[in-house]
Amino acid sequence: MSLAAVMPPQVGQKPDPGMRPVISFHGVSKTYPNGTEAIRDVDLAIYQGDFCFVVGASGSGKTTLVRLLIREEVASTGRIFVDGQETTRMTRRRLPKLRRKFGIVFQDYKLLTKLTVAQNVAFALQVTKPGQRHLKEKVEETLWIVGLEDKLDTFPDELSGGEQQRVAIARALVHRPRIFLADEPTGNLDPDTSWGIVQLLLQINHRGTTVLMATHNREIVDLCRRRVIAIDSGRVVRDEVEGGYLREGEATI
């Protein structure tokens, strides 16, 4: 089975001028109860089919940005829209529907060690779409996309870090989300394995899924030459359509 058969149809990489963003931030700030200002006055627009790197040093606000998107955190001020819906004032009842628009992976994989690879992936469908038909086929298709079709009955502890992250990606992908969020997905991986994961994300994006990847992996960002949103001390300091980890000519130690 080809990848095209199981992924959403590809949409244009460059947004039309009148196109509505799939994600937008309008003057968003987030201050934690202890007074820490994690995000300050952020304005952003991300379009369907974008592949964005969110870069910045540790503690710059990348993870807060991701958590605000899925409403794990609530913005202190400003408005956030996902797929045309304002999430900042969304009731708890509507959060599950919002979160089903996303596929999310983290640096620490968050796999259930007592379940097999196939069961981990199926778990996402069991809790979001109970009783779904052809569950087994959908799980197998998704594991084929991430290249783990031969690891169905393996337990996470028996896999390498890269393979575990692929399982996490499969779990995030199995319900066919519109937006894929990856928070430091290569943080625990060696360079070769990291590149494999990024290639998989590029492949997912190539078929039309919007991908937002928070990272501080300079090499990957420089190699991909995709949209780069740089955050420093909670502020968006740079937003380039095809950028590198650092601004042109910017020096680093």
Say whether residue 79 binds another protein (CB under 8 A).
no
> Which of residues 171, 216, 226, 227 is near another protein by CB under 8 A?
171
> Which of residues 30, 138, 175, 216 is near another protein by CB under 8 A?
175
Angle, alpha carbons 117-2-209 (nearest 5°): 75
State the amino acid at position 135 in one-letter form.
Answer: L
State the minimum distance, in angstroms, from the CB of residue 123 to another protein.
7
> Which of residues 128, 193, 203, 233 is near another protein by CB under 8 A?
128
Say whether residue 92 binds another protein (CB under 8 A).
yes
Distance, in Å, from the CA atom of 61 to the CA atom of 48, rounded to the nearest integer, reads 23
State the minimum distance, in angstroms, from the CB of residue 128 to another protein.
5
Q: Segment contacting another protein (CB under 8 A): 82-90, 100-108, 150-158, 223-231?
A: 100-108
Distance, in Å, from the CA atom of 83 to the CA atom of 147, rounded to the nearest integer, reads 30
Say whether residue 126 binds another protein (CB under 8 A).
yes
> Which of residues 130, 157, 242, 248 is near another protein by CB under 8 A?
130
Of how many residues is the chain composed?
A: 253
Nearest to 167 by CA among 108, 121, 112: 121
> Which of residues 112, 223, 237, 241 is near another protein by CB under 8 A?
112
Say whether residue 118 binds another protein (CB under 8 A).
no
DSSP 174-201: TT--SEEEEESTTTTS-HHHHHHHHHHH
Choose between 212 and 224: whose C-beta lies nearer to another protein. 212
Say whether residue 85 binds another protein (CB under 8 A).
no
Distance, in Å, from the CA atom of 94 to the CA atom of 34, rounded to the nearest integer, reads 28
Q: Are strands 179-183 and 102-106 parallel, antiparallel or unpaired?
A: parallel
Tell which phi-psi region holds residue 83, choosing left (phi > 0), alpha (psi between -120 and 50) or beta.
Answer: left
* CA dist list (Å): 243 to 43, 153, 225, 248: 18, 41, 5, 8
Distance, in Å, from the CA atom of 181 to the CA atom of 91, rounded to the nearest integer, reads 22
> Which of residues 8, 81, 90, 99 is near another protein by CB under 8 A?
99
Say whether residue 241 binds another protein (CB under 8 A).
no
State the minimum distance, in angstroms, from the CB of residue 113 to another protein.
9
> Which of residues 55, 124, 179, 230 is near another protein by CB under 8 A?
124
Q: Segment contacting another protein (CB under 8 A): 35-43, 48-56, 129-137, 156-164?
A: 129-137
**Sign of dihedral through CA atoms 50, 232, 102, 205?**
positive
The contact set with another protein (CB under 8 A) reads 70, 92-93, 95-100, 102, 104, 110, 112, 123-124, 126-133, 171-172, 175
